[in-house]
Amino acid sequence: MKKNIADIARIAGVAKSTVSRYLNGGSVSEATRRKIEQVIKDTGYIPNTFAQSLKAKKTSMIGAIVPRLDSFASSQTVTGMDEELRELGYQLLIINTGQDLGREIEALHDLARQKISGIVLFATQVTEKHLTAIREINVPVMLLGQQHNEVHSFVYNDYMAGYEVGRYVLSMGHRKIAYLGVTERDVAVGVQRKEGFRKALAECADPNVMVSFYESGFKMSEAVSAASAVLGSSKPSVIVCATDNIALGVMKAASMRRLRIPEDLSVTGFGGYDVTEIIHPGLTTVKYNYAESGHLAAKHIVKLVNDQQVEPLTVLGYQFIERESVDKK
């Protein structure tokens, strides 16, 4: 037989409000406290979440809106967030949007409607519609992966990472360089990394440097075709890729053309996916600590939810990892 707060109150011989106070840490005398405690233990009473939320008008849930769950970066980040939120007494509700921007807007509203306390949006693009939704819902929102001055943001230092990769490639003696990027609508991945890379080039005095820029989709299969185009049109000594996935596609395309890496073609990536370490040769790349970012993001959103001060922009570090995929020229 399912018990409610009235049952507990009756059995314990107190009022419902007293039980409620006990449950929510209000002031209750030691004697009553013990009585109620006992009854709750005996009956196995569990408060009804809906009734609580209906009155309290909030929950201790944090929502994560994720474009895709089946990516290394997302799943690592979500796992990190989940661990931290559990520590902090919150539950994570994950919404998968299948890379559909429209569904991100829907998700924002859905979560607000469910009285979620806060939302972390794994952003790829921040459109006007996103901003409108964020303003409307009146729930703290944090952007992860992109930044906007109106919204609390968490980004990786993609610009510096791009710069470092550029410097490295040049220092290894490469002069005929191809950059295989992604759409500029993704500011972090499509613009920042490329601009940082460009800066390194601009600083290089050597007049022999030749760079061509190409664009690929995010999927490995798309990268394979993009790489084939690059290799067909020019003969770069290195292809700098905007993501590890793209780099993997390039390596695949190279092996299909019987090009050896790094002897015939050097490759670099961004991301630091586990795979990049397993494959042979190991991929030189920039590693982001996704799990840690997840933890941090969780801490921040909880602060926001509790009206604590949080810096509007957090820039996360990275680690440049040199492996075997780039040859010295």
Residues that bind DNA (CB under 7 A): 2, 4-6, 13-18, 20-21, 23-24, 26-29, 31-32, 45-48, 51-52, 54-56
Interface with a copy of itself by CB under 8 A: which range of 14-22, 71-79, 174-182, 200-208? 71-79
Question: Considering the rule CB under 8 A, would residue 278 count as an interface residue with a copy of itself?
Answer: yes
| Minimal distance, residue 300 CB to DNA, in Å | 25
Beta-sheet pairing, 313-316 with 152-156: parallel
Residues 250-269 that bind a copy of itself (CB under 8 A): 251-252, 255
d(CA 260, CA 283) in angstroms, rounded, equals 13
17 contacts a copy of itself (rule: CB under 8 A): no
Q: Which does 15 bind (CB under 5 to 8 A by kind): a copy of itself, DNA, none?
A: DNA
Closest approach of DNA to the CB of residue 110, in Å: 15
Candidate list 42, 280, 306, 317; residue touching a copy of itself; CB under 8 A = 280
Task: Using the rule CB under 8 A, give the single segment among 159-167, 184-192, 278-286, 313-321 that binds a copy of itself.
Answer: 278-286
Neighbours of 129 (CB within 10 A): 13
Residue 75: name its binding partner from DNA, a copy of itself, none (Cβ under 5 to 8 Å by kind).
a copy of itself
Opening angle at CA 112, ends 110 and 118, nearest 5: 120
* Radius of gyration, CA atoms only, the chain: 26
Question: From a copy of itself, DNA, none, which one binds at residue 28 (CB under 5 to 8 Å depending on kind)?
Answer: DNA
125 is a site residue for a copy of itself (CB under 8 A)? no
- Positions of E strands within 164-293: 176-181, 210-215, 238-241, 266-268, 285-287
Yes or no: say if 115 and 59 are a contact pair by the CB < 8 Å rule. yes
**With CB cut-offs between 5 and 8 Å by kind, which of a copy of itself, DNA, none does residue 26 bind?**
DNA
CA gap 195, 203 in Å, rounded: 12
Distance of CA 150 to the CA centre of its chain: 19
- How many CA atoms lie within 13 Å of 10's alpha carbon, on the beta-carbon side? 6
- Taking alpha carbons only, the member of 192, 155, 121, 120 closest to residue 316 is 155
Residue 124 per-residue DSSP state? S
How remote is the C-alpha of 286 from its chain's centroid? Answer: 16
Under DSSP, is residue 23 helix (H, G, I), strand (E, B) or coil? Answer: helix
Piece of 6-14, 111-119, 165-173, 188-196 that binds a copy of itself (CB under 8 A): 111-119
Told to check if 68 binds a copy of itself by CB under 8 A, we report: yes
Q: How many residues bind a copy of itself (CB under 8 A)?
A: 39
Among a copy of itself, DNA, none, residue 31 binds (CB under 5-8 Å by kind): DNA
Helix (H, G, I), strand (E, B) or coil at 119: strand
Pick between residue 51 and residue 229 the one whose CB is nearest to DNA. 51
Give the angle 74-267-325 at the CA atoms, nearest 5°. 100
Asked if 127 touches a copy of itself (CB under 8 A), the answer is: no
- List of residues contacting a copy of itself (CB under 8 A): 46, 48-51, 53-54, 68-72, 75-76, 78-79, 82-83, 91-96, 98, 110, 113-115, 220, 248, 251-252, 255, 274-275, 278-280
